[in-house]
Amino acid sequence: MTEIQIEIEEKLLHLLETEDIIEFRQEFLELHPYDQAKFFENQNRDLRRRIYEYMSPEEMAPIIENLESGDEVEEIITDMTPAYAADMLAEMYADDAADVLNELEKNQVASYLNIMDDEAAREIQELLHYDEYTAGSIMTTEFISIETNQTIRSAMQILKKEAPDAETIYYLYVVDDEKKLVGVISLRDLIISDEDMMIAEIMYDRVVSVSVGDDQEVVARTMKDYNFLALPVVDFTGHLLGIITVDDIIDVIDEEASDDYSKLAAVSNMDTIDRGSFSAAKKRLPWLVILLFLGMLTANLIGRFEETLDQVAILAVFIPLIAGMAGNTGTQALAVAVRNIATGDTFQTSIWKSIWREAGTGLITGATCGILVTLIVFFWKQNLVLGGLVGISIFITLFIATIAGAIIPLLMHQFKIDPAVASGPFITTINDIISIIVYFGLATMFMQYLL
């Protein structure tokens, strides 16, 4: 935060505490909606209530739209009077209002929709019916559509009339008599074209669109590939239902990245900073308990080779080395696999090609590390058999770990499970089990040469 921003916030806080309504409104409304939201979010409950009193529902709408934390939405909305909250939600873009209402209890949602303006309530209610994380759940119904049999002049008149309520005007979507999407015109083409030309003459009819039930990750990838500012959403018969704008896709990318990072770290939710130790522990404990039981399985496996360890105690020295190398290699392969699935690179080439590439990588890295370890252990312990055992174990475990890190996310993706669930801790624990079986299995087989 710059010094100017700090000064502005301090001034606003002073005006708020001294209840100088006129000057506070003047200073506050000059800020960008994002800055308004940040200031609002940083205040305590009493000062937030005071801001409600100073702002109209229409002025409050963009502040709520720009809030970054969804955890406090319920408290913020319920602090308002129902009539005020309903009017504010009606002033928001339909998709943003639907996002807010999704954070509330069903009885609260019904109450606000009943109080709200009928047209706004209908638009929001339509969006609430779509499954979460789909194109339908993030689209907006505030777009501009025109028909093929119109002139550029009439289209411009429609644009001027509807622009204030539309979320974006960079694209105008062309529909036929049955409201099916048949074309698109950019704002630039509309401005530079002759006013007497027909829409059908200049529209682009090979429209890229997404289905209302498509996953939001698919939508984000499509928008990235085509560098669109907005993307139309259609139903299974091609009727235009809404559009998804680039600002919503940025939110989706941020949300998906945070979600994947949470899963890769074996944490249930990292969207917000935990307010207390109990809250943080409650989120992390389920994963840690699962990993604890998997760790007990590893300990049980080592216990089964207790006799081998008793006879050749030096074997225990290399357990962390082999298990650690397997875990690191598996995590590397996992990161590449999850990234390729997320970007679609895996399916643009071939799944088997990706697996063979990782298998080749596992062979090369396993052989290199195996030879190095064999030489190091031989010169350190003056025991070629021990060095060979550790080296071969490293080679086999690194190869298997690389394959596991590549295949497990692909299998999860095929079964419609988020590949990020195959997180680092899980891959590491699985590879620990594999490395222990390989290492002590070989040690038991060649026990006579180690004694």
* Confidence grade of residue 423 (pLDDT, cut at 50, 70, 90): low
Percentage of residues in the chain having pLDDT higher than 70: 88
Instruction: Provide the pLDDT for residue 24.
Output: 93
pTM as predicted: 0.65
What is the per-residue pLDDT across 344-359, written as a single tens digit (0 to 9) for each? 665 555 677 878 888 9
Q: What are the C-alpha distances in Å from 283 to residues 104, 272, 273, 296?
A: 21, 12, 12, 22
Among 362, 311, 312, 317, which residue's Cα sits nearest to residue 336?
362
Q: Say how far apart CA 231 and CA 241 lie, in whole Å.
A: 11
Higher-confidence position of 406 and 282: 406
Instruction: Provide the pLDDT for residue 190.
Output: 92
Q: Which CATH architecture has domain 3-129?
A: Alpha Horseshoe (1.25)
CB of 132 closer than 8 Å to CB of 102? yes
Instruction: Provide the pLDDT for residue 361.
Output: 92
What is the per-residue pLDDT across 356-388, written as a single tens digit (0 to 9) for each? 888 999 999 999 999 999 999 999 988 888 899
Task: Evaluate whether the domain defined by 145-245 bears CATH number 1.10.287.1770.
Answer: no
What is the per-residue pLDDT across 287-321, written as a single tens digit (0 to 9) for each? 677 777 877 877 887 888 888 877 778 888 888 88
Of 203-212, 404-413, 422-431, highest mean pLDDT: 203-212
Q: Say how far apart CA 241 and CA 140 lie, in whole Å.
A: 9
* Confidence grade of residue 399 (pLDDT, cut at 50, 70, 90): very high
What is the per-residue pLDDT across 126-165, written as a single tens digit (0 to 9) for each? 899 898 889 999 999 999 999 999 999 999 999 999 999 8
Q: Say how far apart CA 390 and CA 370 lie, in whole Å.
A: 7
What is the per-residue pLDDT across 216-275, written as a single tens digit (0 to 9) for each? 988 998 998 899 999 999 999 999 999 999 988 988 887 776 666 565 555 555 545 455
- State the span(s) of the chain assigned CATH 1.25.60.10: 3-129
CB of 260 closer than 8 Å to CB of 227? no
SS (H, E, C) the chain: CCHHHHHHHHHHHHHHHCCCHHHHHHHHCCCCHHHHHHHHHCCCHHHHHHHHHHCCHHHHHHHHHCCCCCCCHHHHHHHCCHHHHHHHHHHCCHHHHHHHHCCCCHHHHHHHHHHCCHHHHHHHHHHHCCCCCEHHHHCECCCCEEECCCEHHHHHHHHHHHHHHCCCCCEEEEECCCCEEEEEEEHHHHHHCCCCCEHHHHCECCCCCEECCCEHHHHHHHHHHHCCCEEEEECCCCEEEEEEEHHHHHHHHHHHHHHHHHHHCCCCCCCCCCCCHHHHHHHHHHHHHHHHHHHHHHHHHHHHCHHHHHHCHHHHHHHHHHHHHHHHHHHHHHHHHHHHHHHCHHHHCCHHHHHHHHHHHHHHHHHHHHHHHHHHHHHHHCCHHHHHHHHHHHHHHHHHHHHHHHHHHHHHHHCCCCHHHCCHHHHHHHHHHHHHHHHHHHHHHCHHHHC
Instruction: Provide the pLDDT for residue 103.
Output: 83
Q: Say how far apart CA 9 and CA 315 lie, in whole Å.
A: 63
Which residue has 């497990």 as its token pair? 408
Percentage of residues in the chain having pLDDT higher than 90: 43
- State the span(s) of the chain assigned CATH 3.10.580.10: 145-245
Instruction: Provide the pLDDT for residue 347.
Output: 54
Q: What are the C-alpha distances in Å from 268 to residues 107, 117, 134, 279, 421?
A: 27, 38, 21, 11, 10
Of 280-284, 403-407, 413-417, highest mean pLDDT: 403-407
Instruction: Provide the pLDDT for residue 371.
Output: 95
Q: Say how far apart CA 3 and CA 83 lie, in whole Å.
A: 38
Which residue has 């998997």 as its token pair? 294
* Chain centre to alpha carbon of residue 414: 19
Q: Which CATH architecture has domain 277-450?
A: Orthogonal Bundle (1.10)
Instruction: Provide the pLDDT for residue 271.
Output: 47
* Confidence grade of residue 343 (pLDDT, cut at 50, 70, 90): low
- Rounded to a whole number of angstroms, the CA Rg of the chain reads 30
For residue 140, what are the contacts with CB-CB under 8 A and spacing of at least 6? 93, 94, 95, 167, 242, 243, 244, 245, 248
Half-sphere exposure of 385 (CA within 13 A, CB side): 13
pLDDT at 422 over 60: no
- State the span(s) of the chain assigned CATH 1.10.357.20: 277-450
CB of 136 closer than 8 Å to CB of 210? no
Q: Say how far apart CA 178 and CA 140 lie, in whole Å.
A: 20
**Any bridge partners for residue 215, and if so which?**
134
Q: In the predicted model, what is the mean pLDDT of the chain?
A: 85
Q: Say how far apart CA 445 and CA 14 lie, in whole Å.
A: 78
What is the per-residue pLDDT across 40-65, written as a single tens digit (0 to 9) for each? 988 988 999 999 899 999 999 999 98
